[in-house]
Amino acid sequence: MTDFHIGRLAVIGVGLIGGSLALALRDAGVVDDIVGAGRSIENLETALELEIVDRYCLDPVEAVHGADLVFLSTPVQTFGTLAGQLLPAMKPGAILTDGGSVKGEVIRRIEPLLPPGIAFVPGHPIAGTENSGATAAFSTLYRDKRCILTPTPSTPAAALETVRRMWQVAGSEVVVMEVEKHDRILAAISHLPHMIAYTLVNAVGSYDHFEENILEYSAGGFRDFTRIASSDPTMWRDIALTNREALLEMMERYEKFLAELKEDIRSGEGQKLYDFFLKSKLLRDAIL
């Protein structure tokens, strides 16, 4: 039993992230009314059928009327425009929070728009899959995962506590982190791997030395490695553009390591290659 309670929750973007939060809170019995908003009526109808939302509005401004908590879970480049529309319609004392994968740019876009009496708590659940839309949502997505919150000096302590409790109820361990640290860590452990997976699929997929499509020969290794290249292109375009500096820095670091590896292969440095692969294996084994 928990004493945590939300009267009305508005989820803007009822996809994997927003839909899963709605389902987790519904399963925990802590929310009275869940209103969804989004772009296509098809996805919102699906969300209604799957009982992710109690009702939906095509107009996000209508969806936030009377909401105690508004969760933004659309692609990050939409946040500024959406916040500009939603914030004036939110009731005094309500909280706006988000699940966007980038935090610095999101805060720069939303904080200047905040009217008095509305709190903004920037957040990012470290959980996901390569699937999108309401059909991809499931109630246990956040269980035993982390959720990072990146409050700023303007974030009211009470609102931070409410959002912390919300993620705990959804099953996550909440970590409060400084914004720049979040964006650098995520550039390294999430955004860079996605860029590499997309690049690998394109590089191999465009190899036309043979008449056949060589991707048809791909098996476990290639498929495991590139699973995340099936992720939504709009979402990843937005992440790449809004976490540009940290991502470019990590891509340069990666290029340096790849260049060294190429050089060791070219010059037949067997021991160096062995040491490099062993070091990597030990680092990866340790995180599993």
Residue 114 — φ and ψ, nearest 5°?
-70, 120
CB 56 within 8 A of CB 10: no
Beta bridge partners of 36: 11, 56
Assigned token pair, 72 = 């933004």
Measured distance CA(206)–CA(53) in Å, rounded: 42
In angstroms, what is the minimal distance from the CB of 99 to ligand NAP?
A: 4
Q: Show the site string, 39-58: x = touches ligand NAP by CB under 6 A, - = not.
A: xx--x---------------
CB 16 within 8 A of CB 141: yes
In angstroms, what is the minimal distance from the CB of 278 to ligand NAP?
A: 31
Q: Decide whether 61 or 261 has the Cβ nearer to ligand NAP.
A: 61
In angstroms, what is the minimal distance from the CB of 223 to ligand NAP?
A: 18
Residue 59 — φ and ψ, nearest 5°?
-95, 115
Find the Cα–Cα–Cα–Cα dihedral 103, 175, 74, 107, rounded to 10°: -30
Q: Show the site string, 134-173: x = touches ligand NAP by CB under 6 A, - = not.
A: --x-------------------------------------
In angstroms, what is the minimal distance from the CB of 267 to ligand NAP?
A: 40
Measured distance CA(24)–CA(27) in Å, rounded: 5
Size of residue set near ligand NAP by CB under 6 A: 27
In angstroms, what is the minimal distance from the CB of 24 to ligand NAP?
A: 13
What is the contact surface with ligand NAP in residues (CB under 6 A)? 13-18, 38-40, 43, 73-76, 78, 99-101, 124-125, 128, 132-133, 136, 232, 235, 239
